[in-house]
Structures are given as structure tokens and as C-alpha cells.
């Protein structure tokens, strides 16, 4: 039985017992029952709002999880690798991409980014959440060895 149903029962019980609303006690009971009725309605509204809020938080959480998966699974976010699915059909963009090692001044975490990320000017550290300003951070170009061939220094 809900709170509203219990208050309705109490109201009916008072009427069934013949509580005279003109007597002092009857006036008191009527006011108490009216207050209980208002509280029951407020409680029902609060429960509805809580359900709506919980649904909204769940939806935001799911969307955030998708964004995190997209961000952390994307190339260059922290591992320095590249995703083969991102290559053009001709496959020659691998040689054109330049990667940079960046150290977070806040926590010292090292991540590898490409030129596009570096050109943005700043990036949020995936470890501590601090915004890394590339102008102030330690940035070094990363040279990869290809199939046993050494890159020129």
C-alpha cells in the first residue's frame, strides 16, 4: 500500500467513525489528514523525479562510457600506435604521419600524439585529467624503426 493509499484510508476511516469536523478534535484531525495528504503527494512527486533523474544519469553514464571507449581506443591517445582501419586505401599515409611524445607536467605520464592533436594546442591527460598545454610541456618527435631499417638522427 502506497503512502497516498494509506492517507486515503485514514481519511475514509475518520469519515466512517463520524469524526465531527466542527469539534476541536475533528478540526485537528482534518488538518493532520490534509497535511499527510500533501506530504504523500510530495513524496510521490519526489519518487517520480528520482526515477527520471536516475534514468538521465544512466543515459549520461552510457554515453560517457562510449566516449571513453572511443577516446582511449583511438590511435595516439597514449600508446603511440596507429589503427590500421584509419589508413587510406593506398596505405602511404603511414610514412607521412609524425608522432610526438608529450609528458604531462602534472603527473609525468608520457603519451604519444600525432600532429593533428599537437596542433590543437592542448590535450587532457588521460591519467590525471590535467590539461596539457603543448607550449609548456616537454614535446619530442618520436622516430620509429621500420622493418629493421634505422631512422636517420
On the question of pLDDT at 88 being above 60, the answer is: no
Interior/surface letters 107-141, b for 16+ CB within 10 angstroms, e for the rest: eebebbbbeebbeeeebebeeeeeebebeebeeee
17: pLDDT strictly greater than 80: yes
Tell me what percent of the residues of the chain surpass a pLDDT of 70.
78
pLDDT band at 76 (very low <50, low <70, confident <90, very high): low
Note the pTM of the prediction, 2 decimals: 0.40
The residue among 9 and 72 whose pLDDT is bigger is 9
Bigger pLDDT: 17 or 83? 17
Amino acid at each position: 500500500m502506497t503512502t497516498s493509499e494509506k492517507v486515503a484510508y485514514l481519511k475514509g476511516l475518520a469519515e466512517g467513525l463520524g469524526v465531527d469536523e466542527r469539534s476541536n478534535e475533528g478540526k485537528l484531525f482534518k488538518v493532520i489528514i490534509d497535511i499527510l495528504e500533501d506530504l504523500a503527494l510530495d513524496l510521490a512527486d519526489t519518487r517520480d523525479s528520482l526515477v527520471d533523474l536516475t534514468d538521465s544519469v544512466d543515459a549520461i553514464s552510457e554515453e560517457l562510457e562510449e566516449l571513453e571507449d572511443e577516446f582511449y581506443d583511438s590511435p595516439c591517445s597514449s600508446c603511440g600506435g596507429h589503427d590500421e582501419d584509419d589508413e587510406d586505401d593506398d596505405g602511404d599515409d603511414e610514412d607521412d604521419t609524425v608522432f610526438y611524445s608529450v609528458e604531462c607536467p602534472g603527473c609525468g605520464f608520457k603519451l604519444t600524439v600525432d600532429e593533428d592533436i599537437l596542433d590543437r594546442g592542448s590535450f587532457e591527460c588521460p591519467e590525471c585529467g590535467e590539461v596539457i598545454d603543448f607550449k609548456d610541456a616537454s614535446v619530442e618527435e618520436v622516430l620509429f624503426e621500420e622493418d629493421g631499417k634505422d631512422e636517420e638522427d
